[in-house]
Chain A
Amino acid sequence: MTNKIDINVKHITRVEGHGNIVLNANNGTIEKLQWQVPESPRFFEAMVRGQRYEDIQIIVSRICGICSVTHSLAATKAIENAMNIDVSEQTDIIRVLLHYAEQLESHVLHIGYLAAPDFFGVKSVVPLTTTNTETVKTIVKAHRAANEWMGLIGGRPTHPITIKPGGFTKIPTEKQFKELQTKLQQTIQDLKVIADVIATVADKIPAFERDTEYVALKQTTPPTYTFYHGDIATTDMTEAIPVDQWHNVTNEYVVEQSTAKWTKWHRDSYAVGALARYNINAELLSDTAKEVAKMFSLEKGCCNPYMNTIAQLVECVHVAETAVEMIDGLLTKGLKEEAVTATPKAGKGAGAVEAPRGILFHEYEFDNNGICTGADICIPTNQNHANIQKDFEELVPQIISEGQDSIRLKLEMLVRAYDPCISCSTHMLDVKFVE
């Protein structure tokens, strides 16, 4: 009897791009196994050319509705590096707080709405509103807290409008920061509840490991579990390299199976994201975050890509807990009214920050009037594509006898664990009228 496996979840809508998983196997022999993805929206690089330096971060915030703060911050750092613009300590701290909010918002969304249905064996979060009502409400509450946090500092929940090269156009008041602190203390409790629930279904996380190179920012002065500062580090090398050498990390190349460019550094592929950050910086996590990691036996050196979701949960706790302390420090020093000062000049600069799904690079060049003459952006999802393919190649032979449905689910769960950003610049309705 032949045992054929034919998985092809090819899917194309009119505009939004989606990844495709293709697996053809016959009697245990893999004939074709591919992760196929369309190019990310690189047209933004063309759209910012000719724009003024102070408008770039607003434009690039539209690259992604989930990572809009991250894109704005990466661009702003690159602009400031290009023009030698310094920012105050207060601006720096508030930016990190805003960036933390997006980590929490995106991670809770991923854990609750995308990964949890897999763990509970349902298609989406909607059935869980009936079977696990309180859990869903707790997830929604934590997600809402993060949204409000982003809105408070960014001026609106998505596509922030307060970030400028040189500073903020508006910052929250002391009273608002204190209210945020109180809410975050509740969020930490909510996250513990979510962690307890996820722990009950942790056995649904596939036990798959593949020795992998992980890449993330590393901050040594002071040592910090960083999302915003630092140099580029890898698990394959002791010393980190400066952000302006990011092209030496990504080494983008073209492959036949995908219109998206892939990347590689020391090996055929590398991974970015929460697990990469964890594997590089775990010892710098907050105490409660370390406790959550322990609950799931997540240890530095973990090479199970499915555990990226657990690393995200750990990071949720870390950012909420650390933010409470940072606000204390900010308020102790006293909030100051600061003018946004920046003088445009010619230059070229790169900026890197950690998007929720991994390290993000922006680079811009400007003329004397501060007009953008060149742009280059490399998103984390592109840096993960090759690694997803390599994971597929090692995983499928291990599970080839499990049957088509099980294999398909594990491949889909693997892709979801990376939470690729493959369809984020358009979200239009596509409908038919009920007759």
Chain B
Amino acid sequence: MKNKTIVLGLGNPLMGDEGVGIYIINEFLKRKNDFTQAEFVDAGTSGMSILHLLEGYEKAVFIDCAVMQTTAGTIEKFSPADIESVKNLMHYSLHEADLLKIIDLARQLGQCPTDVVIFGIEPQTIGPQSKLSRTLRDNIQDYIAAITAELTE
């Protein structure tokens, strides 16, 4: 039987703060035995393939870099209903991806968990580098604490 919650880290760890979701998910993977009801997945930049990871769970938690016009390092918890995407996709390429549209499609297909929570983290630096900015590194334990609270509530 599947665990009740799937936790997905998104992003590219070789693009600086864009990969914060992967850094955090790797921390949770190290201590996954502490969370018997949750499954943790490094979903990288797989785009539409996220669709197939959601079915059968009661809850999905996404951790992703998010440009929210807040201060760099800020973590916000929200649901898809709380936000609007301002991404203007061209639909030229499979390589474009918008998490909100993927969640929408999963819902249309009846394959989306009832409870969807997104943790967005405002980036400071996005660009080719294999580490987080100092700002996000300094806050990483706070991010883990916030997500842990969500998973243990």
Q: Verify B128–A65 contact, CB threshold 8 A.
A: no
Q: Verify A431–B66 contact, CB threshold 8 A.
A: yes
Interface of chain B residues 1 through 16 with chain A (CB within 8 A): 10-15
Bound CA–CA A325/B128 (angstroms): 42
Is A337 engaged at the interface, CB distance under 8 Å to the other chain? no
Chain B residues with CB under 8 Å of A15's CB are 15, 18, 126
Is A18 engaged at the interface, CB distance under 8 Å to the other chain? yes
Is A217 engaged at the interface, CB distance under 8 Å to the other chain? no
Q: Which residues of B are interface residues toward A (Cβ below 8 A)?
A: 10-15, 18, 41-49, 51-53, 64-69, 78, 81-88, 90-97, 99-101, 104-105, 108-109, 111, 118, 120, 123, 126, 128, 130
Q: Verify B52–A419 contact, CB threshold 8 A.
A: no
Closest residue on chain A to residue B106 by CB atoms: A140
**With A105-B49, A158-B46, A428-B126 given, is the CB distance from A433 to B94 under 8 Å?**
no
**With A126-B101, A429-B67 given, is the CB distance from A434 to B84 under 8 Å?**
yes
Q: How many residues of A contact B (CB 8 A)?
A: 62
Chain B residues with CB under 8 Å of A43's CB are 128
Chain B proximity mask over A410-430: 1 for CB below 8 Å, otherwise 0: 001001100111111111111
Bound CA–CA A426/B65 (angstroms): 10
Bound CA–CA A432/B42 (angstroms): 25
Closest residue on chain A to residue B95 by CB atoms: A424
Q: Verify A147–B49 contact, CB threshold 8 A.
A: yes
Bound CA–CA A109/B128 (angstroms): 28
Partner of B44, one of A41, A47, A62, A412: A62
Is A130 engaged at the interface, CB distance under 8 Å to the other chain? yes
Partner of B105, one of A47, A129, A425, A430: A129
Task: Tell me how far the C-beta of A51 lies from the nearest C-beta in chain B, rounded to whole angstroms.
Answer: 10
Bound CA–CA A16/B91 (angstroms): 13
**With A14-B67, A158-B46, A428-B123 given, is the CB distance from A65 to B83 under 8 Å?**
no
Interface of chain A residues 146 through 170 with chain B (CB within 8 A): 147-148, 156-159
Is A216 engaged at the interface, CB distance under 8 Å to the other chain? no
Bound CA–CA A337/B85 (angstroms): 48
B10, B45, B47: residue with the most chain A Cβ atoms closer than 10 Å: B45
Q: Verify A430–B86 contact, CB threshold 8 A.
A: yes
Chain B proximity mask over A348-360: 1 for CB below 8 Å, otherwise 0: 0000000000000
Q: Verify A16–B67 contact, CB threshold 8 A.
A: no
Chain B residues with CB under 8 Å of A117's CB are 91
Bound CA–CA A140/B92 (angstroms): 20
Q: Verify A114–B101 contact, CB threshold 8 A.
A: no
Instruction: Show 19 A/B contacts (Cβ-Cβ < 8 Å), sorted by A.
Output: A13-B88, A59-B14, A62-B14, A65-B45, A109-B49, A113-B48, A113-B94, A125-B105, A126-B101, A147-B49, A156-B42, A416-B93, A421-B95, A426-B18, A426-B45, A427-B12, A429-B118, A433-B84, A434-B84
Chain A residues with CB under 8 Å of B18's CB are 15, 426, 428
Task: Tell me how far the C-beta of A14 lies from the nearest C-beta in chain B, rounded to whole angstroms.
Answer: 6
Is A44 engaged at the interface, CB distance under 8 Å to the other chain? yes
Partner of B64, one of A14, A66, A425, A429: A429
Task: Tell me how far the C-beta of B85 lies from the nearest C-beta in chain A, rounded to whole angstroms.
Answer: 6
